[in-house]
Structure formats: structure tokens, C-alpha cells
């Protein structure tokens, strides 16, 4: 697969605090990569370096084969969209329609095309009927959908979700995870999810575990999430599906590995059929 981001020996310090230490990581086209870690592990610092919100101190980052520098940062940002933890901090328009159109208007998109794009992407995220509503009066899940629509309208190659589901209720979180899946698989958008929620990370293609500014592990969800004791040691709580699978195995039940709720339900049904 083609690399869309290459991070080479990246180190970053906040005064006397080393947030990242010699990070080397490749992100591939059309994959969903989750970067997980406890608070202070360096994951948000890494996301801000990728989009140029923090200036590089040591190392290099390539985005779509272009070295990220201060001179080309605005060109590189056209290839990456980012959705933050609190969507209220991203809203600038008085209505949903105005907010989705904001980036397009700043890019000089002609009005007829801009209107078409707002309609298209508000519909893709299920928010077309809310175009005349004020963003601040929406639910948490709806706000994130609006923020994602605004990013999608700019046609990025990559979307970074920086703790984008952490403030949502279970229904809103489920909606956003379903939307991420659809964007990744059907729209061929590379997704980088910055999160401490392993329930969310379980749905991704690969997981990177950051601990104290360094990469501890990289692997598929069924490799990483079954290491229950290790994850607890570094301050992460494994998904309930993994906890239940491990308990069943310890009690002698021959059940397949389950890292998501959907997999657990399927495996329990198969187990029931065998019995």
C-alpha cells in the first residue's frame, strides 16, 4: 500500500517535558489507524505536528510524499482535515449551512458549486434537514457530524479525529463510529483516530500504542486488545467484549477471539449453535 504519511524520528519537548521521543510511523492509503494512549502519552501532540499546529523541533513528517515545512504548511493542510474533541471550538457560522460553507468560501469556491457541496456533504452525514439550525443548539453527535461535513467538503485525503467521540453519549458515539467506517471503506479516506477509547479503536485496521511519548506497540486490534494486563498497566481500559472473552476462555469455554461487540455476539451465537 502507498504511504500517505511518514513520520521519521520525530521528537518534541514542552519546556522540560519530553512529549514525544523518536517517533517513527507510516500511515497507509485508505487505512483506519488508531493512536491510543493515556492522557499525556503524546498522541494529541503528534496529531498537531502532522497538521502543522505545532512547529517541528526534531525529525521529519512527509504528507503525500511532501515534506512538511513552514513554507508549504498551508498546501499540505489542504490534504488533511481535523476534527477536535469539542466541535463548539470549530464552529464559526451562525447556521449549519454557513459553518459547512466556511472553508469553501475561504478557498474561493464559486457560490453555485459551494451550495451543491454543502447540500452533498450535509446529506452524507445525515444533517441536511438541519442546515438552517444553529450549530450550538444541536446534540453532541450532531455537532460532530457538522464538523465532519465541513472537513469533507474540502475534499481531504486524510481525516484526523482528535478525541472526536470522547464527549459523546453512547448513541452519538455509535453514530460517529458508523460514519467513520463508511468514510473509510466507501469513500477511500484515510482515517487517523486519536483516542483513549479502546472500544472505538477496536474497529480500526491498526492500533498504535503510545506510552510516555514512545511507541510501545503496533498491530491489528486482535493482537493489541487481548493484552489486557499490559493495557491496564499503562492506564487503558480494554473493551468489555475482550474482558468477557478472556473470562470465558479462562473458565474453559472454547470461544473465538472477540474485540468488538459485534464479533462477540456472532461468536456467542456460533457457540450456542455448536452446543
Kindly tell me the burial class for residue 42, based on how many C-beta atoms sit within 10 Å of its own C-beta (0-12, 13-18, 19 or more): buried
- Annotate 207-264 with DSSP letters as a single string: EEEEETTEEEEEE-HHHHTT-HHHHHHTT-PPPHHHHHHHHHHHTT-------SHHHH
The pLDDT, as a whole number, for residue 171 is 83
The pLDDT, as a whole number, for residue 141 is 84
Q: What are 217's three cell numbers?
A: 506497540
Report strand pairing: 3-14 vs 32-36. Answer: unpaired
3-222 is classed CATH 3.40.190.150? no
DSSP element (H, E) containing 146: helix 140-152
Alpha-carbon gap, residue 64 to 133, rounded angstroms? 36
DSSP element (H, E) containing 143: helix 140-152
The pLDDT profile of the chain, 275 residues, written as one tens digit per residue, is: 799 999 999 999 998 788 999 999 999 999 999 999 988 889 989 999 999 889 889 999 999 999 999 889 888 888 998 888 787 877 887 899 998 888 888 888 888 999 999 998 888 888 899 999 998 888 888 888 888 888 888 888 999 998 888 777 888 788 888 888 888 888 788 999 998 889 889 999 999 999 999 999 999 998 999 888 899 899 888 888 888 888 888 888 888 878 888 888 888 888 765 65
Strand ranges (E), the chain? 3-14, 17-28, 32-36, 58-63, 66-67, 80-83, 158-162, 190-195, 206-211, 214-219
**Domain limits of the chain?**
3-222
DSSP state of 77: H
Give catalytic status of residue 163 as yes or no.
yes
Strand ranges (E), 37-93? 58-63, 66-67, 80-83
The pLDDT, as a whole number, for residue 182 is 85
Of 191, 169, 172, 92, the residue nearest 125 (C-alpha): 172
Q: What is the dihedral of CA 45, 49, 52, 56, to 10 degrees?
A: 120
Phi, psi of 14 (to 5 degrees): -105, 100
Which of 163, 199, 200, 263 is an active site residue?
Answer: 163
Amino acid at each position: 500500500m502507498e504511504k500517505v504519511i511518514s513520520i521519521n524520528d520525530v521528537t518534541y519537548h514542552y519546556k522540560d517535558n519530553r512529549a514525544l521521543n523518536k517517533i517513527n510511523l507510516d500511515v497507509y492509503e485508505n487505512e483506519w489507524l488508531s493512536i491510543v494512549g493515556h492522557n499525556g502519552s503524546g498522541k494529541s501532540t503528534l496529531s498537531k505536528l502532522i497538521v502543522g499546529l505545532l512547529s517541528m523541533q526534531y525529525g521529519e513528517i512527509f504528507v503525500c510524499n511532501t515534506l512538511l515545512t513552514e513554507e508549504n504548511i498551508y498546501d499540505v493542510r489542504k490534504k488533511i482535515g481535523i476534527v477536535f474533541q469539542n466541535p463548539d471550538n470549530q464552529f464559526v457560522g451562525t447556521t449549519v449551512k454557513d459553518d459547512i460553507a466556511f472553508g469553501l468560501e475561504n478557498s474561493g469556491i464559486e457560490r453555485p458549486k459551494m451550495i451543491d457541496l454543502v447540500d452533498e456533504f450535509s446529506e452524507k452525514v445525515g444533517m441536511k434537514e438541519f442546515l438552517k439550525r444553529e450549530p450550538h443548539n444541536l446534540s453532541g453527535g450532531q455537532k460532530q457530524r457538522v464538523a465532519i461535513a465541513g472537513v469533507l467538503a474540502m475534499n481531504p485525503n486524510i481525516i484526523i479525529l482528535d478525541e472526536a467521540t470522547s464527549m459523546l453519549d453512547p448513541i452519538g458515539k455509535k453514530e460517529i463510529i458508523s460514519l467513520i467506517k463508511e468514510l473509510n471503506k466507501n469513500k477511500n479516506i484515510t482515517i487517523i483516530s486519536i483516542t483513549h477509547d479502546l472500544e472505538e479503536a477496536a474497529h480500526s485496521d491498526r492500533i498504535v500504542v503510545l506510552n510516555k511519548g514512545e511507541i510501545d506497540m503496533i498491530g491489528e486490534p486482535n493482537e493489541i486488545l487481548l493484552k489486557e494486563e499490559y493495557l491496564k498497566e499503562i492506564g487503558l481500559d480494554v473493551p468489555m467484549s475482550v474482558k468477557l472473552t478472556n473470562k470465558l476462555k479462562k473458565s474453559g469455554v472454547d470461544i473465538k477471539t472477540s474485540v468488538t461487540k459485534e464479533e462477540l455476539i456472532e461468536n456467542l451465537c456460533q457457540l450456542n449453535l455448536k452446543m
